Amino acid sequence: MTDIILATENLVKSYAGSDRPAINGLSLQVDRGQIFGLLGPNGAGKTTTISILCTLLQPSSGSATILGHDVVRQATEVRRNIGLVPQDIALYGSLTARENLRYFARIYKISAKLIEERINECLQLAELQDCADRRVSTYSGGMKRRANLAAGILHQPEILFLDEPTVGIDAQSRNLILERLVELNHQGVTLIYTTHYMEEAQQICDQVAIVDGGQMIACGHPTQLVNDSPGCGNLEGLFLQLTGKQLRDRVE
């Protein structure tokens, strides 16, 4: 019997002045312990979906639950159990990585006795322990992404949302982040992962949902989806077959 940790049902999000919903009847389920990839072209509704699930936006209609808690009516309970690694770097450049993590530890209300231990664990996971006392503004792009990840896992969330965590970084940092995400998953953390790098999704995800126009158009294990679509060759080929090759410059 599966343990559903996240579910949405007929989720809709409309914005005033837009001619179509950003999310249009999205229903999905994520099992505990999965790495779940949420894939789609620009403007498909990925970031809007993540924002609703993280209680940053309210849906226009439909429902979403995390660990049985409704994201609208029980937002406080949801926030206690989730972590978010946003696409933008959510750190203060004028502070060191260690100072940033101390700041977030207080927001998360981590016990004072455990703060330094957790900070050191997260810095080590991100391989930033040797530069933890440098200002984040001096970091390379890859180092900032790794520090962003450290901040997102500081409070040991059961579910971690990651919105394009490897965008625009060097191959070494990208590889390290992927390795660390798999390690976190093996420790029991459920990951909800958005990316434009299809090879990443095919490499680490147990299940992917491809969305376009705010609707789910395919869902399943990436290898199975590819095998069920002759001629695609890989997940990127399937993605282009389903969503088309036309450029998508609209932002959500």
Asked if 149 contacts 176 with a C-beta cutoff of 8 angstroms, the reply is no
> What residues does each domain of the chain span?
4-243
Record the pTM.
0.93
What is the secondary structure of 66-102 as a DSSP string? ETTEETTTTHHHHHHHEEEE-SS--S-TTSBHHHHHH
Query: CATH assignment of 4-243, given 3.40.980.10, 3.40.50.300, 3.30.200.20, 1.20.1260.10?
Result: 3.40.50.300
- What Rg value do the Cα atoms of the chain yield, rounded? 18
Burial letters 217-248, b for 16+ CB under 10 A, else e: ebeeebeebbeeeeebeebbebbeebbeeeee
Q: What is the pLDDT along the chain (252 residues), one digit of tens a residue?
A: 469 999 999 999 999 988 899 999 999 999 999 999 999 999 899 999 999 999 999 999 999 999 999 999 999 999 999 999 999 999 999 999 999 999 999 999 999 999 999 999 999 999 999 999 999 999 999 999 999 999 999 999 999 999 999 999 999 999 999 999 999 999 999 999 999 999 999 999 999 999 999 999 999 999 999 999 988 999 999 999 999 988 766 554
Which amino acid is residue 47, in one-letter code? Answer: T
Nearest to 252 by CA among 89, 56, 37, 74: 56
